[in-house]
Structure 1
Amino acid sequence: MIAGMEPAALMQILLVSMGAGVAGGILAGLLGVGGGIVIVPALYIALGSTGMDPALTIKVAVGTSLATIIFTALSSARAHQKRGAIDWQILRYWAPSIMVGVVLGGFLGGYADGQLMILVFVVTAFLVALDMILRKGSDAPEPRSFPGYIWMIMGTIAGAISAMMGIGGGTVCVPIFNFLGYDIRKAVGTAAAIGFVIAVPGAIVYAFTGLGVEGRPPFSFGYINLLAAAAIIPLTTIFAPLGAKLAHTIPRRALRLAFGAFLMLTAIRMVMDLL
């Protein structure tokens, strides 16, 4: 069915991708999440409805999401930089270990069983949601200091999980920054820039590992579906600055609760699909 996918199925993928692009763009700017936390479940459901193997569906959804985050992260980071909300020192310090984690996680995701990837997505989203909802950050946080090797370990883990989930830096990195005592707005802005560091090598790995795999939808390059990406990228890029603007007008506590609530709903939805 996939090889000769009907026009109606292609249109469904296109429409879902456009909706995910709008929502993902706003959330990318608002929460620094790169939009993947919306795009992956949306594409997973849309592609699954065409009769694709679920184990293959999650890989295409993740690979496509990472490709779109390249552009979303740039748009979101630029908007946050105008408000001075990116810590470039941390970004330069943390980027190498994150990229190592992304490559490791990307190859694991590209070759691992799709059910494992869904499980990683669900567990991580659920734990992060609990952390953001229950943790009480102070209004004037004091950043904590950790040895360099701790930062390297956290960066590698954050990169690997992000690559397996098809997400930008926000889902994992914002809670880490929050735990370390950084202001939530600066955490969101810096995570938006980290999304670019994650997305570029991640997309390359998923494009490579998916080459020649049978059962992919039309217009796919490796595990990246170019049709969905073409629909998502312009919309996420347009709407990310709007989300960034909202991030600087919403109270810190409300921002954390919004982030946690959204992740919780996403985790519940993915559990339903897994079961």
Structure 2
Amino acid sequence: MFGISPSELALLAAALLVGGAVTGFMAGIFGVGGGAVAVPVLYELFRILGVPDEVRMPLCIGTSLAIIIPTSIRSYRTHLAKGAVDTSILRLWAVPVVVGVVMGSVVARYAPPDLFKAVFVIVAGFSGLRLLVGKDSWRLGTTLPSNPVVVVCGWIIGVLSSLMGIGGGMLSNMFMTFYSRPIHQAVATSSGLGILISIPGALGYIYAGWPRAAQYPDVAALQPPFAIGYISLLGFLLFIPTSVWMAPIGARVAHALSKRRLELAFGTFLLVISLRFLYSLIVS
């Protein structure tokens, strides 16, 4: 199966379980769905499995969005129990974020593979640098802008997140901290945003990838029962147990860290991911 030996499959399965644990921990500690971890891990997995470059990145992103669903739910419940979530922002973002996710899923059906990588590089790179070298004086205001501006930003977050396979945490964290919201509140609120993005996003990538199985009949990783559209059931099933287990642990660690340590950790993480996909763009 997949053209590789049972021992290689066992190693891949073990890597996915470890990747799931890291994804869940990141989801809790940074308020992100974990997609920024899951996408690179899945990218390497599908490269080994011989998935063509034309469909590899969207398959990673769709699978990541599906994986984010349970990790976001568990992370959000942990942060909510600590009273750190700003539910008023989530209510404002609910509709525009979902609309943005749906639009991004439609784009994913027709977009070239390098578009997904480019979005990853730009957004993750800018976010990481801002956290690493930014200063507290770098603010757009002391309070959030008017509701229409918040709504438009929610739509943008939805579109970009659906093209990156993330839960929106890195984008919403940046938005909220630019308007003087504490990083811990931004992290907690972002965990709820992951739920708004991951569920419609996963459904959208099923739609986007549905015709691909017929176009690539020799690629087992795209065929049922191993995949539904652009969602790999193998990746989904192996990531879920350890990611759900680690999400609340990461959330508890986040509340124990100082503001600056949380910013440095998140910024370094985003910059590493950005450089990884920049390298992929250069050598492709």
Identify the TM-score tier after normalising by the shorter chain: over 0.9
Does the residue aligned with 2:248 lie in a helix, a strand or coil? helix
Q: Which residue is 1:52 aligned to?
A: 51
**One-letter identity of the residue aligned with 2:265:** A
Taking the TM superposition and a 5 Å limit, the aligned residue runs for 1:48-197 are 48-137=47-136, 143-197=142-196
Q: Over residues 87-134 of structure 1, what are the superposed CA-to-partner deviations in whole Å (9 max), with x where a residue is unaligned?
A: 111111111111111111121123211111111111111011111112
Identity of aligned residues (%): 37
In 2, Cα distance between equivalents of 1:168 and 1:157: 13
The alpha carbon displacement at 1:227 in A equals 1.0
Alignment of 1:258 onto 2:259? no
Moved more, 68-77 or 43-52: 43-52
The alpha carbon displacement at 1:174 in A equals 0.7
**One-letter identity of the residue aligned with 1:136:** K
Asked whether the equivalents of residues 92 and 147 of structure 2 are also in contact (C-alpha less than 8 Å), the reply is no
TM-score, normalised relative to structure 2: 0.91
Does the residue aligned with 1:200 lie in a helix, a strand or coil? helix
Unaligned runs of 5+ residues in structure 1 are none
Taking the TM superposition and a 5 Å limit, the aligned residue runs for 1:34-45 are 34-45=33-44
The alpha carbon displacement at 1:5 in A equals 5.8
Q: Over residues 140-197 of structure 1, what are the superposed CA-to-partner deviations in whole Å (9 max), with x where a residue is unaligned?
A: xx85131222112111111110000000121111111111111111100100010000
Asked whether the equivalents of residues 125 and 264 of structure 1 are also in contact (C-alpha less than 8 Å), the reply is yes
TM-score, normalised relative to structure 1: 0.94
In 2, Cα distance between equivalents of 1:143 and 1:113: 40
In 2, Cα distance between equivalents of 1:206 and 1:16: 24
Asked whether the equivalents of residues 168 and 194 of structure 1 are also in contact (C-alpha less than 8 Å), the reply is yes
Alignment of 1:274 onto 2:281? yes
Alignment of 1:203 onto 2:202? yes
In 1, Cα distance between equivalents of 2:186 and 2:220: 37
Asked whether the equivalents of residues 108 and 208 of structure 2 are also in contact (C-alpha less than 8 Å), the reply is no
Moved more, 111-120 or 26-35: 111-120
**One-letter identity of the residue aligned with 1:242:** I
In 2, Cα distance between equivalents of 1:136 and 1:78: 31
Asked whether the equivalents of residues 211 and 223 of structure 1 are also in contact (C-alpha less than 8 Å), the reply is yes
In 2, Cα distance between equivalents of 1:206 and 1:216: 18
Moved more, 106-115 or 197-206: 106-115
Matched pairs, number = 272
Unaligned runs of 5+ residues in structure 2 are none
In 1, Cα distance between equivalents of 2:197 and 2:111: 19
Alignment of 1:232 onto 2:219? no
In 1, Cα distance between equivalents of 2:121 and 2:7: 30
**One-letter identity of the residue aligned with 1:160:** V
Does the residue aligned with 1:248 lie in a helix, a strand or coil? helix
Question: Structure 2 residue aligned with 1:249, among 239, 246, 256?
Answer: 256
In 2, Cα distance between equivalents of 1:146 and 1:257: 26
**One-letter identity of the residue aligned with 1:166:** G
Asked whether the equivalents of residues 12 and 46 of structure 1 are also in contact (C-alpha less than 8 Å), the reply is no
The alpha carbon displacement at 1:247 in A equals 0.4
